[in-house]
Chains A and B, each alone.
Chain A
Protein backbone atom coordinates (compact mmCIF):
# COMPACT_ATOMS: atom_id res chain seq x y z
CA UNK A 1 0.00 0.00 0.00
CA UNK A 2 1.58 3.21 -1.15
CA UNK A 3 1.69 6.09 1.25
CA UNK A 4 1.99 9.75 0.43
CA UNK A 5 2.60 12.09 3.33
CA UNK A 6 2.08 15.83 3.48
CA UNK A 7 2.01 18.32 6.31
CA UNK A 8 -1.65 19.32 6.52
CA UNK A 9 -0.86 22.89 7.62
CA UNK A 10 -2.21 25.44 7.47
CA UNK A 11 0.90 27.01 5.96
CA UNK A 12 0.67 30.78 6.09
CA UNK A 13 2.85 32.80 3.70
CA UNK A 14 2.89 36.56 3.08
CA UNK A 15 1.87 37.78 -0.34
CA UNK A 16 4.87 38.00 -2.65
CA UNK A 17 6.94 35.45 -0.73
CA UNK A 18 7.89 31.91 -1.73
CA UNK A 19 5.61 29.10 -0.55
CA UNK A 20 7.33 25.74 -0.12
CA UNK A 21 5.21 22.60 0.01
CA UNK A 22 6.67 19.18 0.72
CA UNK A 23 5.61 15.60 0.11
CA UNK A 24 7.23 12.26 0.92
CA UNK A 25 6.30 8.92 -0.59
CA UNK A 26 6.84 5.34 0.51
CA UNK A 27 7.45 3.45 -2.74
CA UNK A 28 11.00 3.85 -3.96
CA UNK A 29 9.90 2.57 -7.38
CA UNK A 30 7.52 5.48 -8.03
CA UNK A 31 8.21 7.02 -11.42
CA UNK A 32 5.91 10.02 -11.70
CA UNK A 33 4.70 12.65 -9.32
CA UNK A 34 1.84 15.09 -9.58
CA UNK A 35 0.84 18.27 -7.80
CA UNK A 36 -2.81 19.27 -7.83
CA UNK A 37 -4.45 22.38 -6.43
CA UNK A 38 -7.88 22.06 -4.88
CA UNK A 39 -10.04 24.99 -3.89
CA UNK A 40 -12.68 24.32 -1.25
CA UNK A 41 -15.59 22.39 -2.75
CA UNK A 42 -13.89 22.06 -6.15
CA UNK A 43 -12.11 19.32 -8.01
CA UNK A 44 -8.33 18.77 -8.12
CA UNK A 45 -6.63 20.86 -10.79
CA UNK A 46 -3.28 19.76 -12.18
CA UNK A 47 -0.48 22.22 -11.42
CA UNK A 48 2.74 20.35 -12.15
CA UNK A 49 4.10 16.91 -12.85
CA UNK A 50 7.65 15.66 -12.68
CA UNK A 51 9.39 12.45 -13.65
CA UNK A 52 13.12 13.10 -13.29
CA UNK A 53 15.33 14.09 -10.39
CA UNK A 54 15.94 17.78 -10.16
CA UNK A 55 13.82 20.83 -10.82
CA UNK A 56 11.06 21.54 -13.28
CA UNK A 57 9.81 25.09 -13.67
CA UNK A 58 6.53 26.35 -15.11
CA UNK A 59 5.86 30.03 -14.60
CA UNK A 60 5.74 30.78 -10.87
CA UNK A 61 5.76 27.07 -9.99
CA UNK A 62 8.79 24.80 -9.53
CA UNK A 63 8.57 21.11 -8.75
CA UNK A 64 11.62 19.48 -7.19
CA UNK A 65 12.18 15.74 -7.06
CA UNK A 66 14.72 13.82 -5.00
CA UNK A 67 14.19 10.10 -5.55
CA UNK A 68 17.02 9.07 -3.24
CA UNK A 69 15.32 10.83 -0.34
CA UNK A 70 11.83 10.02 -1.63
CA UNK A 71 10.49 13.51 -1.51
CA UNK A 72 8.97 15.90 -3.96
CA UNK A 73 8.33 19.56 -3.32
CA UNK A 74 6.46 22.42 -4.91
CA UNK A 75 7.67 26.00 -4.75
CA UNK A 76 5.36 28.88 -5.56
CA UNK A 77 7.17 32.15 -6.21
CA UNK A 78 5.57 35.59 -5.83
CA UNK A 79 2.65 34.07 -3.93
CA UNK A 80 -0.73 35.61 -4.63
CA UNK A 81 -3.92 35.47 -2.52
CA UNK A 82 -5.47 33.39 -5.33
CA UNK A 83 -2.87 30.71 -4.56
CA UNK A 84 -4.65 30.08 -1.26
CA UNK A 85 -5.90 26.49 -1.61
CA UNK A 86 -5.10 22.93 -0.62
CA UNK A 87 -2.20 21.41 -2.57
CA UNK A 88 -2.33 17.68 -3.17
CA UNK A 89 0.63 15.46 -3.93
CA UNK A 90 -0.14 12.24 -5.85
CA UNK A 91 1.72 9.22 -7.20
CA UNK A 92 0.48 6.31 -9.36
CA UNK A 93 -0.42 3.20 -7.41
CA UNK A 94 2.25 1.14 -9.14
CA UNK A 95 4.39 1.31 -12.24
CA UNK A 96 1.90 2.84 -14.60
CA UNK A 97 -0.67 1.25 -16.86
CA UNK A 98 -4.19 2.07 -15.80
CA UNK A 99 -3.33 2.51 -12.13
CA UNK A 100 -5.08 5.05 -10.06
CA UNK A 101 -3.36 7.70 -8.02
CA UNK A 102 -2.64 7.67 -4.31
CA UNK A 103 -3.10 11.15 -2.91
CA UNK A 104 -1.71 12.76 0.19
CA UNK A 105 -4.06 14.53 2.56
CA UNK A 106 -2.96 17.86 1.16
CA UNK A 107 -1.37 21.01 2.57
CA UNK A 108 -3.67 23.93 3.20
CA UNK A 109 -1.86 27.07 2.01
CA UNK A 110 -2.95 30.54 3.06
CA UNK A 111 -1.44 33.58 1.35
CA UNK A 112 -1.79 36.61 3.58
CA UNK A 113 -2.34 39.92 1.71
Chain B
Protein backbone atom coordinates (compact mmCIF):
# COMPACT_ATOMS: atom_id res chain seq x y z
CA UNK B 1 0.00 0.00 0.00
CA UNK B 2 1.36 3.46 -0.90
CA UNK B 3 2.74 5.45 2.02
CA UNK B 4 3.69 8.98 2.90
CA UNK B 5 7.41 9.01 3.66
CA UNK B 6 9.21 11.56 5.79
CA UNK B 7 12.90 12.25 6.31
CA UNK B 8 14.76 12.49 8.55
CA UNK B 9 13.10 10.49 11.31
CA UNK B 10 14.94 12.55 13.94
CA UNK B 11 16.56 15.96 13.56
CA UNK B 12 18.62 17.63 16.26
CA UNK B 13 19.39 21.30 15.70
CA UNK B 14 20.87 24.18 17.64
CA UNK B 15 18.50 26.99 18.51
CA UNK B 16 18.57 29.71 15.86
CA UNK B 17 19.42 27.36 13.02
CA UNK B 18 17.24 26.59 10.03
CA UNK B 19 15.81 23.12 9.42
CA UNK B 20 14.12 21.56 6.43
CA UNK B 21 11.80 18.63 6.94
CA UNK B 22 11.05 16.52 3.88
CA UNK B 23 8.01 14.55 2.82
CA UNK B 24 7.10 12.47 -0.19
CA UNK B 25 3.31 12.31 -0.39
CA UNK B 26 1.43 9.42 -1.95
CA UNK B 27 1.92 9.72 -5.70
CA UNK B 28 -1.64 10.34 -6.90
CA UNK B 29 -2.56 12.62 -4.00
CA UNK B 30 -3.20 16.29 -4.67
CA UNK B 31 -3.51 17.86 -1.22
CA UNK B 32 -0.64 18.03 1.23
CA UNK B 33 -0.52 18.99 4.88
CA UNK B 34 1.86 19.61 7.76
CA UNK B 35 0.91 19.07 11.38
CA UNK B 36 2.89 19.20 14.58
CA UNK B 37 2.48 17.50 17.92
CA UNK B 38 4.30 18.81 20.96
CA UNK B 39 5.03 16.02 23.44
CA UNK B 40 1.92 15.19 25.44
CA UNK B 41 -0.30 17.56 23.46
CA UNK B 42 -2.75 17.21 20.63
CA UNK B 43 -2.01 17.13 16.92
CA UNK B 44 -2.15 20.68 15.54
CA UNK B 45 -2.68 21.74 11.95
CA UNK B 46 0.00 23.98 10.45
CA UNK B 47 -0.62 24.37 6.71
CA UNK B 48 -2.28 22.85 3.68
CA UNK B 49 -1.00 23.01 0.11
CA UNK B 50 -2.76 22.47 -3.19
CA UNK B 51 -1.94 23.29 -6.77
CA UNK B 52 1.47 24.67 -5.79
CA UNK B 53 0.21 27.16 -3.30
CA UNK B 54 -0.81 27.42 0.34
CA UNK B 55 -4.54 26.85 0.76
CA UNK B 56 -4.93 27.29 4.49
CA UNK B 57 -2.62 28.02 7.38
CA UNK B 58 -3.10 28.16 11.11
CA UNK B 59 -1.98 30.93 13.42
CA UNK B 60 0.98 28.76 14.34
CA UNK B 61 2.28 29.00 10.76
CA UNK B 62 3.87 32.44 10.96
CA UNK B 63 6.76 33.99 9.01
CA UNK B 64 9.16 31.54 10.62
CA UNK B 65 7.66 28.76 8.53
CA UNK B 66 7.50 28.13 4.81
CA UNK B 67 6.52 25.23 2.57
CA UNK B 68 7.59 24.28 -0.90
CA UNK B 69 7.09 21.61 -3.49
CA UNK B 70 10.45 21.83 -5.23
CA UNK B 71 9.76 19.02 -7.69
CA UNK B 72 7.02 16.57 -8.60
CA UNK B 73 7.45 14.39 -5.55
CA UNK B 74 8.84 16.24 -2.53
CA UNK B 75 6.99 18.56 -0.14
CA UNK B 76 9.12 20.42 2.37
CA UNK B 77 8.61 22.40 5.57
CA UNK B 78 11.30 24.96 6.39
CA UNK B 79 11.61 26.41 9.86
CA UNK B 80 13.90 29.43 10.18
CA UNK B 81 15.55 30.67 13.36
CA UNK B 82 14.40 27.68 15.36
CA UNK B 83 13.32 28.13 18.96
CA UNK B 84 13.21 25.71 21.85
CA UNK B 85 9.43 25.59 21.60
CA UNK B 86 9.65 24.29 18.03
CA UNK B 87 10.67 20.93 19.47
CA UNK B 88 7.89 18.55 18.44
CA UNK B 89 6.89 15.73 16.12
CA UNK B 90 6.11 17.05 12.66
CA UNK B 91 3.76 15.00 10.53
CA UNK B 92 3.17 15.27 6.81
CA UNK B 93 -0.14 14.05 5.41
CA UNK B 94 -1.75 13.82 2.01
CA UNK B 95 -5.13 13.11 0.54
CA UNK B 96 -6.23 12.32 -2.99
CA UNK B 97 -9.09 14.74 -3.10
CA UNK B 98 -10.21 17.31 -0.59
CA UNK B 99 -10.21 17.28 3.19
CA UNK B 100 -13.48 15.39 3.33
CA UNK B 101 -11.39 12.43 2.23
CA UNK B 102 -9.17 10.63 4.75
CA UNK B 103 -5.72 12.06 5.23
CA UNK B 104 -2.84 9.60 5.34
CA UNK B 105 0.03 10.45 7.66
CA UNK B 106 3.73 9.80 7.40
CA UNK B 107 5.74 8.42 10.31
CA UNK B 108 6.83 11.90 11.33
CA UNK B 109 10.07 13.73 12.04
CA UNK B 110 11.04 14.25 15.66
CA UNK B 111 12.62 17.72 15.84
CA UNK B 112 14.74 18.47 18.89
CA UNK B 113 15.99 22.03 19.36
CA UNK B 114 18.91 22.38 21.77
Report which A residues bind B (CB closer than 8 A): 31-32, 34, 36, 42-46, 49, 51, 88, 90, 92-93, 96-106
Per DSSP, chain B at the interface is strand
Residue in A closest to B32 when the chains form the complex, CB atoms: A98
Further 11 A-B residue pairs, CB within 8 A, beyond A31-B100, A42-B107, A98-B50: A32-B101, A42-B108, A43-B89, A93-B56, A96-B99, A97-B98, A98-B48, A98-B99, A99-B99, A100-B35, A101-B35
In the assembled complex, the CB of A89 is this many whole angstroms from the nearest CB of chain B, namely 10
Contact among A32, A43, A105, A106 with B108 in the assembled complex (CB-CB below 8 Å): A43
Q: What total of chain B residues lie within 8 Å of the partner, measured CB to CB?
A: 29
Per DSSP, chain A at the interface is loop
Q: Is B75 an interface residue (CB 8 A)?
A: no
Q: Enumerate 25 A-B pairs (CB-CB under 8 Å) in ascending A order.
A: A31-B100, A32-B101, A34-B102, A34-B103, A43-B106, A49-B102, A88-B43, A96-B98, A96-B99, A97-B98, A97-B99, A98-B49, A98-B98, A98-B99, A99-B56, A99-B98, A100-B33, A100-B48, A100-B56, A101-B43, A101-B45, A101-B99, A103-B44, A105-B41, A105-B42
